[in-house]
Amino acid sequence: MSFVPPPYPYERLDGLRESASRLPGGSIDCSIGTPVDAPPDFVIDELARASGARGYPPSAGTPRLRDAAAGWLHRRFGVEQPSSELAACVGTKEFVASLATYLHLRRDDRDTVLYPAISYPTYAMGATLAGLRAVEVPLRDGALDLAAVAPDDVRRALVLWSNSPSNPTGDLDDLGAVARWGRENDVLVASDECYADFTWQDHPRSILQHGSENVIAVHSISKRSNLAGVRAGFYAGDADVVSYLRLVRQHAGLMVAAPVQAAVAAAYDNDEHVERQRDVYYRRLHVLGEALRAARVRCPAPQGSFYLWCSREGMDGWQLAAWLAEVAGLIVSPGELYGPGGGDFARIAMVQPDDRIELAAQRLRELA
């Protein structure tokens, strides 16, 4: 075999699960960012209607879905994005993993994917699956240090990924500067904004606030509305790029199920449930963050996302994860899973019910 897929990152946590489960009350899994809270009832009701289930749904998304997504972009970011310049995707992870493949068919003179040095692993995997080079962009104060990209890598770059708020660090980037760099260097910028609704320090941001030329913004319903299981999101931006991707993805048979599209449209038409979820995540971040700091774990409040990016003196990320499993029953993600630069950190996701977060916090308080 010329390509052997690496182990899936989170499958490496089995030893931590065993250690954490030994505590009275059991383990508290905060490793994978899978929402645990209930999605809105009106969305589930829409799913149950199974509208359009018998026929093939439009690959680019129904007019209702695209109008709802465009309406949300306007309400949340003040962006006037025509619904013709956005399209549905089958969950944003699928889009992230396949984007480089499809872009390389369009522009085969470029062979490099640029991505944040500490980031969601699928950006680099998307390059690997396309047979392309994956090149890390260093971070400075949580933002892409684009001046550090080698000139040859800039010339060869097919796409630059940004992620703000960042998974795993929670940092915010200067999306205006990222967009300008992409235009100046003729590199498409793909901005992963799936945590934009959970921005704590400053207002929610989108790269589309700086124009749509040569940029794509990617949004997910998974985190916003606790609907990770329905696998749906959308991308929007440069009209020519969106048009190209819509067509090639249609040929590939990528379609969001029609009942899911109807439910997602209903979710994007409503902001009240998101505001309630924001309060839930903010409270959990505060409760667990305070307890961790009392136990001498460094975890600054994130600028965005629902993750704590933690470190402890004298420990690398795997040692910190093992310690948290042993003393608090917490299963967390060692930072190495997000790139070598994250090796001294661990990521903790606020994806357990309040009582389980409180149990972990109480265990940590008892160490102080």
Q: Is the N-terminal amide bond of 165 cis, ω within 30° of 0? A: yes
Cα–Cα dist 147/192, whole Å = 21
- In the chain, where does the domain assigned CATH 3.40.640.10 lie? 43-268
Residues 213-226 have pLDDT tens digits of 999 999 999 999 99
Structure tokens at 213: 């030329």
Phi, psi values for residue 56, rounded to 5° = -75, 130
Q: Given this model, what pLDDT does residue 339 score?
A: 96
Query: How far, rounded to the nearest angstrom, does the alpha carbon of residue 87 sit from its chain's CA centroid?
Result: 18
Query: Domain 9-30+273-365 adopts which CATH fold?
Result: Aspartate Aminotransferase, domain 1 (3.90.1150)
- In the chain, where does the domain assigned CATH 3.90.1150.10 lie? 9-30+273-365
Residues 292-344 have pLDDT tens digits of 999 999 999 999 999 999 999 999 999 999 999 999 999 999 999 999 999 99
Mean pLDDT of the region 241-266: 98
What Rg value do the Cα atoms of the chain yield, rounded?
A: 20
Query: How far, rounded to the nearest angstrom, does the alpha carbon of residue 133 sit from its chain's CA centroid?
Result: 22
Question: Which pLDDT band holds residue 70 (cuts at 50, 70, 90)?
Answer: very high
CATH architecture of 43-268: 3-Layer(aba) Sandwich (3.40)
Residues 172-214 have pLDDT tens digits of 999 999 999 999 999 999 999 999 999 998 899 999 999 999 9
More confident site: 141 or 7: 141
Q: Where are the alpha helices (DSSP H) in the chain?
A: 14-20, 41-49, 63-77, 92-106, 122-129, 151-156, 175-184, 221-224, 239-251, 258-268, 272-294, 317-328, 354-365
Q: Given this model, what pLDDT does residue 15 score?
A: 85
Mean pLDDT of the region 106-113: 98
Checking if the pLDDT of 130 tops 80, the result is yes
Average pLDDT, the chain: 96
Mean pLDDT of the region 259-268: 98
Question: Which pLDDT band holds residue 57 (cuts at 50, 70, 90)?
Answer: very high
Q: Given this model, what pLDDT does residue 147 score?
A: 98
Checking if the pLDDT of 368 tops 80, the result is no
pTM of the shown model: 0.96
